[in-house]
Structure 1
Amino acid sequence: MDFSALNDALASKSYDQIADICDTLMLQVSSQGVIFQDEWPYAIHLLGHIYINDINSARFLWKRIPLAVKESQPEVVAAWKIGQKLWARDYAGVYEAIREFNWSPEAQGIVASFSEFYTKKMFELLVSAYSTISTQDTALFLGLNADDAANYALQRGWTLDLSSQMLTVKKQVVATEQKLDSSKLQRLTEYVFNLEH
């Protein structure tokens, strides 16, 4: 099997392409009637789907993985554990699943990148959902201890009430682009023209 496209994507940290590359390779190999078990990068394939938040495809891939592979490759099970936690919306559990396994060198990059991406996504969720939140709850969503979560939030403009350990969320300023409607501009021009004449 030629995994050069997959290896190139991993080397260039193009993790958002991993799932598609693996799906395409799997279809090509399957169409040739080749049966693979141990040599297929199931953990990377699962992590690729998890990285792009395609949990349904990860679930279906998990169901297709042979039992012998699940029993002999703990990294495959560890990758799926992240998917399970995402499926259950167990925010703290996602981070636990990431931290509790010693990932292979091939998987370390995608797992680290996913963790960073997931933390940013959770922080954006907190910004949109809360005006104040405790440091403990923030820590739960960000997969950090309370002090690190407070520091993370403070670095992004939030404020902390030390006595209550409550963080005040700094809402992001959303720049809206106003679109120019040509028909409205035409009517305004005609109106001004009529006023002047």
Structure 2
Amino acid sequence: MDFSVLNDALSSQSYDKIADICDNLMLQAAAEGIAFHDEWPYAIHLLGHIYVDDINSARFLWKSIPVAIKERTPGIGAVWKIGQRLWTKDYAGVHHALRETNWGPELQGIVAAFAENYTRSIFQLLLSAYSTIGIQDTALFLGMSEDEATKYVLEQGWTLDPSSQMLTVERRAVSSAQKVDPSKLQRLTEYVFHLEH
């Protein structure tokens, strides 16, 4: 089976394309009657679905993996632990599942990218859900030590009350200023001029 498209996506860090590439390759192999179970990159395929937050497809893929392959390939089980934690919204558990495995070289890049994206999305969740939150809870959600979490959110503009150990969430104003395309302005001016004359 030719995995060059998948390898290209991995080497170019196009992780958001991994799930679709693997799904298409799997369909192609099935249509051609190619037996692929033993050589299939299940761990990467699962991570591809997890990376794009498609947990339902990851669950379906997990159920379709032969038990013998799950048992002899520990990376698949480690990836699925991440999926399970996401499914149950165990935010701290996701971080724990990411850290408890020594990821092989073929998975390190996508795991690191997922971890970074996941931390950012959890930060956005905290930003929208809280006006104040304790350091310990923030650290738990972000999968960091209390010092790391405090530093991280302070860099994002939050404030800390040292006496209560509470963080005040600072929502940054979103700029809604739009850049005007000079050619569009010119066309609008000509149109208004035409209407007036």
Shared fold (TM-score, shorter chain, > 0.5): yes
How many percent of aligned residue pairs carry the same amino acid? 67
Q: 1:143 aligned to 2:137? A: no
Q: Which residues of 2 match residues 151-170 of structure 1 at below 5 A? A: 151-170=151-170
Stretches of structure 1 that go unaligned for 5 or more consecutive residues are 179-197
Find the counterpart in structure 1 of residue 118 from structure 2: 118
Find the counterpart in structure 1 of residue 181 from structure 2: none
Give CA-to-partner distance per residue, 1:37-64, whole Å, 9 cap, x none: 2210000000000000000000000000
* Secondary structure at the counterpart of residue 38 of structure 1: coil
Find the counterpart in structure 2 of residue 81 from structure 1: 81
Give CA-to-partner distance per residue, 1:153-181, whole Å, 9 cap, x none: 00111111111111011112133469xxx
CA RMSD of aligned residues (A): 1.3
Q: Normalising by structure 2, report the TM-score.
A: 0.88
Q: Which residues of 2 match residues 23-34 of structure 1 at below 5 A? A: 23-34=23-34
Give CA-to-partner distance per residue, 1:139-163, whole Å, 9 cap, x none: 1110001111000000111111111
* Secondary structure at the counterpart of residue 102 of structure 2: coil
Q: Normalising by structure 1, report the TM-score.
A: 0.88
Asked if the contact 1:127–1:172 (Cα under 8 Å) also holds between the matched residues in 2, the reply is no
Stretches of structure 2 that go unaligned for 5 or more consecutive residues are 179-197
Q: Which residues of 2 match residues 82-121 of structure 1 at below 5 A? A: 82-121=82-121
In structure 1, C-alpha distance between the alignment counterparts of 2:31 and 2:88, rounded to whole Å: 34
Give CA-to-partner distance per residue, 1:73-112, whole Å, 9 cap, x none: 0000000110000000000000010100111101000000
Find the counterpart in structure 2 of residue 191 from structure 1: none
How far did 1:20 drift? 0.2
Q: Moved runs in structure 1, 4+ residues, more than 2 A?
A: 174-178
Q: How many residues align?
A: 179
